[in-house]
A and B are shown apart, each in its own frame.
Chain A
Amino acid sequence: MIVASQGMAQSSAFGRRCARAFVSGFFVAVPVTVTVLDRLAYIARVEGASMQPSLNPEGQTTSDVVLLSRWSVRDYQVQRGDIVSLLSPKNPQQKIIKRVIGLEGDLVKTRGYKNRYVKVPDGHFWIEGDHHGHSLDSNSFGPVSLGLVHGRASHIIWPPHRWQRITPSIPGGCALLLHRDRLPPSDQDD
Chain B
Amino acid sequence: MLRRAVGKSLAFAGFTIQYGCIAHCTLEYIGELVVCSGPSMEPTIINHDLVFSERLSRHFYTIKKGDIVIVKSPFDPRMNICKRVIGLEGDKVCTSSPSDTFKTHTYVPKGHVWLEGDNLRNSTDSRAYGPVPYALIRGRVCLKLWPPPSFGRLSKSPTGRIIPRD
Contacts and interface: CB of A to CB of B under 8 A. Distances in A.
Contacts of B37: none
B17 interface: yes
B34 interface: no
Interface of A: 27-28, 30-32, 34-35, 38-39, 75-76, 87-93, 121-124, 145-149
Nearest to B78: A76
Given A87-B133, A145-B136, A31 B77 contact: no
Nearest to B137: A92
A32 B134 CA distance: 28
A35 to B, nearest CB: 4
26 contacts: A27-B22, A31-B25, A32-B18, A32-B21, A34-B21, A35-B24, A38-B24, A76-B78, A87-B135, A88-B111, A89-B133, A90-B111, A91-B110, A92-B111, A92-B134, A92-B135, A93-B61, A122-B76, A123-B74, A145-B72, A145-B74, A145-B132, A145-B136, A146-B77, A148-B133, A149-B77
A87 B132 CA distance: 13
A151 B17 CA distance: 23
B73 interface: yes
Contacts of A38: 24, 28
B75 interface: yes
Contacts, number: 70
Contacts of A32: 17-18, 21
Most buried by B among A34, A39, A145, A148: A145
A31 B21 contact: yes
Interface of B: 17-18, 20-22, 24-25, 28-29, 61, 72-78, 110-112, 132-136
Contact of B73 (A31, A89, A147): A147
Contacts of B18: 28, 31-32
A91 B111 contact: yes
Contacts of B17: 32
A39 B110 contact: no
B133 A145 contact: yes
Given A32-B17, A35-B20, A76 B135 contact: no
B111 A123 contact: no
A118 B162 CA distance: 33
Nearest to A123: B75
Contacts of B28: 38
Contact of A89 (B25, B29, B77, B111): B111
Contacts of B110: 90-91
Nearest to B63: A92
A87 B134 CA distance: 9
Contacts of B25: 30-31, 34-35
